[in-house]
Structure 1
């Protein structure tokens, strides 16, 4: 499937909410859906982060042919001059198993490699999420550590870009 990535904009909250309000999507992220007010707060932070740099932020994953919404992808920095970015994605369940997360991840890694300021990419997954681990390992990420995120297990993987 041909895909395109477009940064989220203020009118896209309903698309974001489709993902974070689906327990199948959120099971390996927060183990619960986000309530509307919590999702709105997160979405505002996404929009603010999108303004830090034109090449980094959070994107809608869309079908290039039909413009159909497929999911969320991010290549997120914490501040304008960050040397590290976080790669992540959420895909609507009806598109699981089609190679979309792998395709998007590879695209984001290539984007990161072109940005001279970045030295490292990180990704955080639930250690039980074998599919995401495989995608990241295929993109040359390696496990850095296992940590606890407010009672939830997490595995941090990283990719050195230099």
Structure 2
């Protein structure tokens, strides 16, 4: 089955796409609790480019609708620096794309990339406890809820999935 989403690593010319997402109050409310300023976004984007140069597959991605090629959000598959056999899966969608099935398609595509890439035995993801939709997306793709906790001062639900 062909995916509804097209995923490509962010490149040097993609800052405005990235900024469109991270400067959106609605999007960031469930990620960090607040939108990024342009300077904060530039700093984070530069770090993204450095990370993306380290691996041709893992990193942070821009995401498009596979048919229309419309920009719909971003995603990440990052190797955990403490647990080298584990990678973090994450995604953010523009509010106009919420509730349209993109989150599920994107999570599935990321799981498939992680399986093909190899090298890690598990994935993990975190959601805001109020983001019920993301929790359902993750569990529908085989993730299990491990615990409730905090991440960088924000309440979080922690999910994981074995790949082997």
Q: Same fold (TM over 0.5)?
A: yes
* Secondary structure of the corresponding residue to residue 42 of structure 2: helix
CA contact (8 A) 2:4 2:102 kept: no
* Equivalent residue number for residue 21 of structure 1: 23
- Structure 2: unaligned runs, 5 residues or longer: none
Cα deviations by residue, 1:1-27 (Å, 9 ceiling, x for unpaired): 832111100111111111111111111
After superposition, the CA RMSD in angstroms is 1.6
* Secondary structure of the corresponding residue to residue 92 of structure 2: strand
Distance 1:78 1:14 in 2: 27
Shift of 1:119: 0.4
Match of 1:121 among 123, 138, 145: 123
Question: TM-score normalized by structure 1?
Answer: 0.92
Shift of 1:86: 0.7
* Equivalent residue number for residue 58 of structure 2: 56
Q: Which runs of 4 or more aligned residues in structure 1 lie more than 6 Å from their structure 2 counterparts after TM superposition?
A: none
* Equivalent residue number for residue 2 of structure 1: 4
Match of 2:147 among 136, 145, 148: 145
Counterparts of 1:88-103 in structure 2, within 5 Å, are: 88-103=90-105
CA contact (8 A) 1:49 1:78 kept: no
* Secondary structure of the corresponding residue to residue 59 of structure 1: strand
CA contact (8 A) 1:124 1:154 kept: yes
Question: TM-score normalized by structure 2?
Answer: 0.91
Once the two structures are overlaid, the 10-residue window that deviates more, 64-73 or 12-21, is 64-73
* Secondary structure of the corresponding residue to residue 72 of structure 1: strand
